[in-house]
A and B are shown apart, each in its own frame.
Chain A
Amino acid sequence: MAKTLSSVAQRRIQSELTEWMRSPPEGCCLESCEPMTSWVVVMQGPEGHSRLYADEVFRLRIDFGEQYPLDPPDVVFLAPAPIHPHIYSNGHICLDILYSGNNGGWSPALTMSKVVLSLRSMLASATEKKKPPGDAEYCARVGNRSPKLSRWQFEDDKV
């Protein structure tokens, strides 16, 4: 992926970094932001209702493109991804706010703090540790390409 960023994208990412350092989202910390266009976030599994993920730690990679924040970044869980009905084993996440166009719900008003909090609450509200239907087939088909290249259907955003 091309990493030539517009100055607008650079400033925005820098502002979000500063904001994150000042007030990190609950249960999350930044493992790496080097280069600035690729963050690795460490997420403590949330307590949640059923404590499904309470003792686990996950890692997320966030890759910003040059049209950020007009376009959403690529956001994937690094292996091993949480076992969750909306998270594929290759780390791809079925959550509308991560995608633009069609049914996507990405808004430039979202920040990475808000995005990781949404992901954490998605884990917290799970009632069952279960892989998405068709997980093996999907992962075999798409491998490690960008999740933005998949067509997503978001029919159930509350898990």
Chain B
Amino acid sequence: MDAASSGAQTEPAPAAGAPERPSDEEILAQQNLIRAEQAQRSEYVGNEEPLSALKEEYINGNQNFVQKISKLESAYGRFRRTRGDGNCFFRGFVYAYLEGLLLGRDTAECSRITAVVQGWKMRLVEGGFQELVFEDAMDLLLDQVASVSKPDSGSGPQHEQLLINMRDDTVSNMIVMFLRLVTSCEVQRREDHFFPFIMGMYDEPPPTVELFCQRFVEPMGEESDHLHIVAVTDALQIPVRVVYLDSSGHPGGGSGAGGADLDATVHDFVPDACPPGTQPRVHLLYRPGHYDILYPR
């Protein structure tokens, strides 16, 4: 690229007849407004809703969505929205996981994940991450695990507290940040495994895995792809099921050959070290560009 073309964008004098371009200030003000509206409309993690509420959204739109959601309703009764801020995969993933620990009273899994997260301290340091950049975020995640694993008289207050924490700017975002650093470190540790995927993802891929991670994994708000999911589920050994919902009209699932009804595509991310047949701990619903949380019946 030409060096002269980099730099702060200048505003060209509007040509006769051409619409005037908005100024930086106007664009940023608009972006901030959209963000503020988005924040007001949706929490980082929303409330549980029946899946029928999702179907409502498409009732007058693409009928493939409606059909696929109708079929999904046999397996999933409810869902929970996450804010579409580019962190929705990580946030949905960690919230659903922690909530699962809480509601399942799964103390064995709490101990396992605590040990795994603590084990990442060494790996991150070995991977070149300074302890000071992740220690607080790691503690915030461990705090959440500890608080959901505490015996409690009823699940009410604890559940509510988890929701409050995961809606908190600092707590929620620092935990997302920690997961991003772990993901980055995992991708770089297994460079040979991940490099071909990175090459396949972009027309002009970043030249190194390290640069890819600095640019597309570590920054907040960078959207997650298949690769991020593989890396973080492997790193923490947490199996995840993603249900892909799009407008495509191909009969899927293999069972409805010739049938008119459509199925959402299901993809399980099962870490290699998990025994075959391990059930997913987290279920996410993917619509192009966004992840929400699904609740199996």
Q: Could you list which residues of chain A lie within 8 angstroms of chain B, going by C-beta atoms?
A: 6, 8, 11-12, 15-16, 19, 67, 69-71, 85-86, 88, 92, 94, 100-101, 104-111, 132-134, 137-138, 141-142, 149-156, 159
Contacts and interface: CB of A to CB of B under 8 A. Distances in A.
Given A100-B219, A107-B214, A19 B1 contact: no
B192 interface: no
Given A149-B28, A153-B5, 20 more contacts: A6-B169, A8-B137, A12-B132, A15-B132, A70-B174, A71-B220, A109-B129, A109-B133, A109-B181, A109-B218, A111-B132, A133-B4, A137-B10, A138-B8, A149-B25, A151-B24, A153-B7, A154-B6, A155-B1, A155-B5
25 contacts: A6-B170, A8-B136, A8-B140, A8-B174, A19-B132, A69-B177, A70-B177, A86-B7, A100-B220, A100-B221, A105-B215, A107-B218, A108-B180, A108-B218, A110-B133, A111-B130, A132-B8, A134-B7, A149-B24, A149-B25, A151-B9, A151-B24, A151-B27, A155-B5, A156-B2
Counting chain A CB atoms within 10 Å of each CB, which of B10, B140, B219 scores highest? B219
Interface string B136-156: 110010000000000000000
Interface of B: 1-11, 24-25, 27-28, 129-130, 132-137, 140, 169-170, 173-174, 177, 180-181, 184, 214-215, 218-221
Contacts of A94: 6-8
Contact of A86 (B6, B134, B174): B6
Given A109-B218, A149-B25, A92 B133 contact: no
Contacts of A86: 6-7
A157 to B, nearest CB: 8
Contacts of A153: 5-9
Majority secondary structure of chain B interface residues (helix, strand, loop or mixed): helix
B219 A104 contact: yes
Nearest to B135: A15
A141 B11 CA distance: 10
Nearest to B5: A155
B6 A67 contact: no
A110 B180 CA distance: 13
A86 B129 CA distance: 28
Contacts of A107: 214, 218-219
B3 A108 contact: no
Nearest to A16: B132
Nearest to B218: A107
Nearest to A87: B7
Contacts of B177: 69-70, 108
A138 B27 contact: no
A86 B24 CA distance: 19
A40 B170 CA distance: 26
B136 A12 contact: yes
Contacts of B10: 134, 137-138
Contacts of A15: 132, 135
Counting chain B CB atoms within 10 Å of each CB, which of A100, A111, A156 scores highest? A156
B219 A8 contact: no
